[in-house]
Structure 1
């Protein structure tokens, strides 16, 4: 009996010719050639914009031969145009699996899948087909361009730059779109002057690139050219008045200048009509105006959208399991048996710890004003080293990290650690972090708390500065922002509190098991007396006396041009006490705001000495 059940993916094909097809029983190449003419007819109908006729013919062909490439391509294009993303993706993936007559055809299939996923913001999913396209056609500029986009948006920024530049070279001409994407990549690296020059060239070629104008405005703001940034945005909004990204960027300029009413006017309308970044800006403006209830409503809607509209979920299991694994391995007894990398001349790393919102950005800004200190921002390479260590240390039992570190006790483990330590600096060097004047590299990577054990092996005497802040202020700071945090913990206050507990518990374990060169610093002390705090930190870090900026200069926290500008410098402002015990004002106006998270955070509030500062 004929199975007429239509596939649930939405392709329009019968299930036995789609997701449940036995491709091993599909027609062979000789049989396919008999229907190639009909498939070409379907393409002709599609090109003539006779879409319903093209669809009907493609469905008939694929019911006979589910592996007919031309018909499959027609059906893919139609489902994509209809917005049936699940069906389009399944058809696109099927095209990548079909035998191709040459590499160019195969690469085109992988590239169209990658481009579709990029358009959906699914850059991680796009990585595999994008890489495949480049491998199949290494001289194709578009393939390199798409891979550059994927790598840049997944945090492999220097690799993304490499492929953007390959695309430019292969084109043998300047292309406005490729150059604008390269400029954004350079901006992400903090190479703002290069980014500005590249944006100028890109926008001369493609002045209609609204996204490029927005990127250029962000670069100018990062270079502290605020009037130029505002003019770029105002001119762009005159042309593209409905562009939400440009509108948000302009609102952020108002927020920066203290024009809080203007922010709310620009981002007006019902909260449900705004996107999470818009809600964060509107909430921050409402807070500065003293409208705390409005601010909480905006922040809460942003977090709700992350959960419900974008499917972001926080699952504590992964973090808890990873923490338990690290706690079980990194014990004092085991660490005593492992070698250490020898000390070397040259720059020394200074590791900053602190849950997001604790003040590590501010500390990095102030430290980088001291001669010899260079900010690495999030470019620290410890996380990457944990992936590479298997190439240096034998892992025959496939233990994985961190268990494979036990093999360092066999043979010349110190030399292996020295190679790994050197790789840390090679990465920073290639990222343009280290310069001839660098004596200390400030590494404030967000995952440093996971790597304290490896830090102890590679840099036994490295200073570790732990930024502490009232836990309720830390949670509130993240609740009020729209940014990606580890394990999606920023989607709600309970998730933030739970992950804060996991993070702080792990740091407490490391401190109990390792002899660390550790200095805690309260955010409250830093903003109350930045010069005094900075002096004590520098004295802790350096055995040699270093000249500090004046108290006035430290308090002013003025922008200073450097080759590589950390992203947080864009919003750099004078040191202020506005956010000290920020939670008090919120709790006074919204009394139940923290009721769900106090049971989790109260032990930390007490342990950190904030019990009297409730």
Structure 2
């Protein structure tokens, strides 16, 4: 009987230990190390017998791995590391084995942190650590590691790629775009990287460029159904239904993924073929499907049933989707933390203090300065609709959901070279330092807007409609105290219900539970009332229901408030070709309709428990509950 001979891995082939590295860069180094043991000893100062002990231990671990006993191999390496804590090679081999079995755990993070500590200038170790932290959703730590890796070796494509993925998860698509493009400039195109870049381009409304990179991703990996479906989703959002159907059909030819069927239901729903959409969903066997699929399945089912006015069934479906999100994504609203933040802001932004602060506004001696137009409001309150209306005007450009205020709130002490927490640290600055500091924060915002091409070449007024920017009305007052602020108001029960029906992370993941969504709404309402009582703002509130009921009158009021003349295009905002990068993308391409006004009445029973939470806001805003 012929016995198959074990093959020796080539230098550039994958290392058999499963680390994912080339053999020459991993265990190949170890096997060849005995040749230069004396040289190693001289260079490192480690006695030759210690080096020999490390080599023997690693060889034993490799033999165990080759024999299929990975658990014993890891145990042997752990023993070796405990004996010689500063030995890098066994630590690196252990990390490689754990990564090979796709382990992302605190234990792996600790081991990778030790590697970084032992070799702080290794961009490869930092990259690996960043990827693990990303897998564990420890985004701030992942960002720090990835940025250090990029700083050490700016030509490392993997460092840029990981940093891009981290920033994408942190809702910073502009930063993600930059680093994905840096990765592509340092490496041959890869399908997944092109698809990731396409996704963040879509988030920024760069639709043509996004489609181009989806096209490239599919060309590189024609059998990748995920890329085909995400591209199809882009085309669906643009109402390019024929193109979307073609892409879904291509995906079905290369994959049995049931996500194809869910997207087919979405297309049928968008085309108004609701019974066919439901029939498509009913035909899907969801038994034993993974949670990530079930989340999208039940969400789509809820949308279809809601359109069919089968409201009780729709609520059951969206409840299932959100329950799975809370479980799988660990998306839990932190009520105590949010309450603490609001109390801190209320304590700092007091009228007596603000009167003493030299707030920033436009320089009267500088004509045609770029000025943000802040459209604030809870998610699903109508902010996207109002932005679409206003940016139909030729003198107003669209910024969409800009992260600049949030970044300033996080980075202000660092940007100004100070210690402390924002906004409290500002009270420790003398008047001249404070005035200069606030101007610097204003310039930081505007420089980002210009760099991101938010400011139009022919327009100076641009929108910023990041949901829940009303948290930062105090900051806006400090650095843009003459900027117009439009606050969208809608019946609180409608807002909370609509948030619950959409997969939204805004507001610290509050929308995945009716109770937490209501709690956060009430909390933000309280903060806005405080701001209105203590700040002198250029503020205008408008009801969603009023715009729907009498659009021309209220659109004229909006334009007058921001200082622009009437333009008929604002009334025909549904013809605006701008891509809306929010959950409202389908609605803002339609004419105004009344079906979403007081939608809560269809779900009155399911909303009963949150009415007491929202009652103060409902009454104060002049609404009732029927």
Q: Please give the TM-score of this superposition, normalised by the length of structure 2.
A: 0.83
Q: Does 2:264 match 1:250?
A: yes
| Preserved contact between residue 180 and residue 199 of structure 1 (Cα < 8 Å) | yes
> Partners of 1:243 and 1:201 in 2: how far apart?
24
Q: CA RMSD in A?
A: 2.9
| Preserved contact between residue 393 and residue 407 of structure 1 (Cα < 8 Å) | no
Aligned-pair distance for 1:473? 0.8
Distance 1:406 1:506, change over 3 A: same
Please say which of residues 108-117 and 474-483 is displaced more in the overlay: 108-117
| Preserved contact between residue 539 and residue 545 of structure 1 (Cα < 8 Å) | yes
Q: Does 2:441 match 1:427?
A: no
Q: Does 2:464 match 1:443?
A: yes
| Preserved contact between residue 526 and residue 533 of structure 1 (Cα < 8 Å) | yes
Match of 2:52 among 28, 31, 34: 34
Q: Does 2:409 match 1:386?
A: yes
* 3-state SS of 2:333 partner: coil
| Preserved contact between residue 80 and residue 88 of structure 1 (Cα < 8 Å) | no
Aligned-pair distance for 1:293? 1.3
| Preserved contact between residue 494 and residue 599 of structure 2 (Cα < 8 Å) | yes
Distance 1:247 1:346, change over 3 A: farther
Q: Deviations over 1:309-348 (max 9, x none)?
A: 4332222111111111111111111111111224233232
* Number of the residue aligned with 1:228: 243
Q: Does 2:118 match 1:99?
A: yes
Match of 1:307 among 326, 334, 351: 326
Q: Deviations over 1:205-251 (max 9, x none)?
A: 2223333223322333344423212211221122112253x444333
| Preserved contact between residue 57 and residue 80 of structure 2 (Cα < 8 Å) | no
| Preserved contact between residue 376 and residue 383 of structure 2 (Cα < 8 Å) | yes
| Preserved contact between residue 92 and residue 113 of structure 1 (Cα < 8 Å) | no
> Partners of 2:336 and 2:401 in 1: how far apart?
25
Aligned-pair distance for 1:29? 4.1
Q: Please give the TM-score of this superposition, normalised by the length of structure 1.
A: 0.84
> Partners of 1:605 and 1:182 in 2: how far apart?
42
> Partners of 1:470 and 1:60 in 2: how far apart?
63
1:533-612 matched pairs, under 5 angstroms: 533-542=554-563, 544-549=564-569, 551=571, 553-554=572-573, 557-560=574-577, 562=578, 566-568=581-583, 570-571=585-586, 572-574=588-590, 575-587=592-604, 591=605, 593-611=606-624
Please say which of residues 154-163 and 467-476 is displaced more in the overlay: 154-163
| Preserved contact between residue 58 and residue 72 of structure 1 (Cα < 8 Å) | no
| Preserved contact between residue 104 and residue 136 of structure 2 (Cα < 8 Å) | no
> Partners of 1:549 and 1:271 in 2: how far apart?
50
> Partners of 1:94 and 1:502 in 2: how far apart?
39
1:2-401 matched pairs, under 5 angstroms: 29-30=46-47, 32-42=50-60, 44-45=62-63, 48=66, 50-52=67-69, 55-66=71-82, 67=85, 68-82=87-101, 85-86=104-105, 89-90=108-109, 92-93=111-112, 96-97=115-116, 99-100=118-119, 103=121, 106-119=122-135, 123-171=139-187, 173-242=188-257, 244=259, 246-268=260-282, 269=285, 275-344=294-363, 345-391=368-414, 393=416, 395=418, 398-401=419-422
> Partners of 2:397 and 2:535 in 1: how far apart?
27
Q: Deviations over 1:429-454 (max 9, x none)?
A: 11221111223211111242122122
* Number of the residue aligned with 2:35: none
| Structure 1 stretches lacking a partner, 5+ long | 1-26
> Partners of 1:71 and 1:346 in 2: how far apart?
60
> Partners of 2:415 and 2:212 in 1: how far apart?
41
Aligned-pair distance for 1:64? 3.9
Please say which of residues 64-73 and 375-384 is displaced more in the overlay: 64-73
| Structure 2 stretches lacking a partner, 5+ long | 1-43
> Partners of 2:359 and 2:334 in 1: how far apart?
35
| Preserved contact between residue 131 and residue 162 of structure 2 (Cα < 8 Å) | yes
Give the count of matched residue pairs: 568
Aligned-pair distance for 1:118? 4.0
Aligned-pair distance for 1:37? 3.1
| Preserved contact between residue 88 and residue 115 of structure 2 (Cα < 8 Å) | no
* 3-state SS of 2:609 partner: coil
* 3-state SS of 1:162 partner: helix
| Preserved contact between residue 413 and residue 420 of structure 2 (Cα < 8 Å) | no
> Partners of 1:222 and 1:408 in 2: how far apart?
48
> Partners of 1:185 and 1:464 in 2: how far apart?
28
| Preserved contact between residue 190 and residue 567 of structure 1 (Cα < 8 Å) | no
* 3-state SS of 1:303 partner: helix
| Preserved contact between residue 417 and residue 458 of structure 1 (Cα < 8 Å) | yes
> Partners of 2:314 and 2:515 in 1: how far apart?
18
> Partners of 1:236 and 1:271 in 2: how far apart?
22
> Partners of 2:594 and 2:431 in 1: how far apart?
53
| Preserved contact between residue 61 and residue 72 of structure 2 (Cα < 8 Å) | no
| Preserved contact between residue 384 and residue 580 of structure 2 (Cα < 8 Å) | no
